Amino acid sequence: MRVYKAKDYNDLSRKAANIISAQIIMKPDAVLGLATGESPIGTYKQLIEWYNKGDLDFSEIRTVNLDEYKGLAADNPQSYAYYMHTNLFDSVNIPAVNINIPNGLEDDSVKECMRYDNVIHQLGGIDLQLLGIGGNGHIGFNEPGNNFNKETHCVTLTDNTIDANARFFASRDEVPRYAYTMGIKNIMQAKSILLIASGEAKAQAMYDSFYGPITPNVPGSILQLHNNVTVVADEAALALILKEHEITSGGLIK
């Protein structure tokens, strides 16, 4: 595991975008696993800037998104499909046919989960998976629990996650209670993983995920078992880790 300390959110976003852009340049038809939420917005903005300068080409890139709310249409402003088009897809030259996101309007959970797993398998797996992390250590919508769910599944969102996402809705009551998400196996089979985190609210989850025991009570802790994880986080998110470990300009290697 390699950990990079960013000066601030803008620096974090540039560092993360550098890693993703290197993947795109090295493998123009790479499969990118993408995330939503507040953390990646700056990263996507930087990728768009470099695309507009002619430095990046998305014409052969394939994408698979981590998750989607169950019950929301792709054109709903609160859906993750809408988020991705607004924050990245509509501003670069990625073909619509190359974009893959769980179908929030599919009522049959078993059918949709099997379909999405097949999509990932047919693409040959994920080259680079981008992740954020929740304050309770969740990755994607893999919430704390008694076991690691393996592949795509429908999850009941915890009160913690509903509360965290309520700010994006008119009221807490409007936050969907269910979501489709890639499972831990989907994520762990990615060839490389890039996790980004910002703010003191993530500090405990970051420490528990990378320096605590591996447990489904902290889903992010499973990443300790992956052989190619890069973490880019600001000082606030790394606060508890920095108390015990020095991160040099070359990054901390665990």
Phi, psi of 52, rounded to the nearest 5 degrees: -65, -25
DSSP H/E element including 29: none
- Residue in the block written with tokens 């493998």: 27
98-103 — which CB contacts under 8 Å span 24+ positions? Answer: 98/60, 98/61, 98/62, 98/63, 99/63, 100/62, 100/63, 100/64, 100/65, 101/64, 101/65, 101/68, 101/74, 102/65, 102/67, 102/68, 102/152, 102/180, 102/181, 103/68, 103/74, 103/180
**Interior CA angle at 151 toward 150 and 155, to 5°?**
90
Query: Quick one: DSSP state of residue 60?
Result: T
DSSP H/E element including 22: helix 9-26
Burial 75-104 (b: 16+ CB within 10 A, else e): eeeebbbbbbbebbbebbebeeebbbbbbb
Instruction: Kindly list the catalytic residues.
Output: 67, 136, 138, 143
